[in-house]
Amino acid sequence: MSSRGLLRRGVLPLIGLTLLAGCFVEDLPEENLSGQVVVPSSIAQDAREIGMVYVGIFEAWNPEQLGYSYPATGPRVGDNPLGDAQPYGGTSVGEYAYPCLRAVQCEVITGRYASIDDLLEVNPINVEDGDPMSPEQFYDQCQWYYGWNSLAEFRFLGEEALDFREDESGDWVADFQAVHTQIPAGSIVWGFVDNDFTTCSENQGSINRRQSDDGVFFREGTNFGDVLNFPDKYITEGDVVSGQPAVITEDKNEGYRLVLDEVID
């Protein structure tokens, strides 16, 4: 018997004891926080133009350090231009989805497109002969890559999956929920829109499901892990931040409204 086998046999009883000993209720101060983000129609006339939206819960607000609305930060450490914003928690409205081919990797977000036509109108793709890719060609590519056999399987498409809806004022409104987060009274809700997809890393995410003719393996792309810790690393010209944060009040964990209305220039 190998030493590896002995190690496994010795660990299993300990794991069982640990699990039994851990069966108690922890009184952790974590809750779910929900509300709405609002993108004024003066910022985006079409909801498909709204990039990745990030919402975070932070200790305080400091609009002076960068010249635009921004959370307060901790001490500067290492090469980071600013300190860690130290979020209690957060979420996003939408997520990066790999849209079946690398030409639009890190450019497609869930909850923005009702149909293939909607997607290709905003993200035109040319095929090898230079002609625009048709909806039929895009469908065939996704069927090959993912094995999808109906539009209902396209996780980044669908009328019912759209995040934003138009309110009575013509502005764009979407629900958000940050789960398992601390929400101390007096802390703030702040967010931003990444309109040029700076927050997406092409070198992270799932490994490609199908190997292309060149035999190259690649990552499908996903957001960087420190977006809410260091938002300034990713906020660029044309992005939008919440000009005023929403302030957390005691015993309230829903109904917050965050307006994203300050364009970075």
User: How far apart, in Å, do the first and last CA atoms of the chain sit?
Assistant: 67
Q: Name the β-bridge partners of 109.
A: 96
Look at residue 5 and tell me whether its pLDDT is greater than 70.
no
Per-residue burial over 23-34, b if 16 or more Cβ lie within 10 Å, else e, is eeeeeeeeeebe
pLDDT at position 16 over 90 = no
> The whole model's pTM is what?
0.86
Residue 6 has pLDDT above 70, yes or no: no
DSSP reduced 3-state for 203: coil
Whether 12 shows a pLDDT value over 80: the answer reads no
* pLDDT band at residue 53 under the 50/70/90 scheme: very high
Mean pLDDT of 111-134: 95
Residues 104, 110, 114, 115: what is their CA dihedral angle, to the nearest 10 degrees? 30
Averaged pLDDT for residues 55-69: 95
Nearest Cα to Cα of residue 56 among 74, 72, 75: 72
- Taking CA atoms, 143 is separated from 19, 75, 95, 99, 136, in Å, by 43, 49, 21, 11, 10
Spatial distance between the Cα atoms of 4 and 202, rounded to a whole number of angstroms: 37
Q: What distance in Å separates the CA atoms of residue 5 and residue 19, rounded to the nearest whole number?
A: 22
Q: What percent of the chain has pLDDT over 90?
A: 79
Using an 8 Å Cβ cutoff, are 37 and 173 in contact? Answer: yes
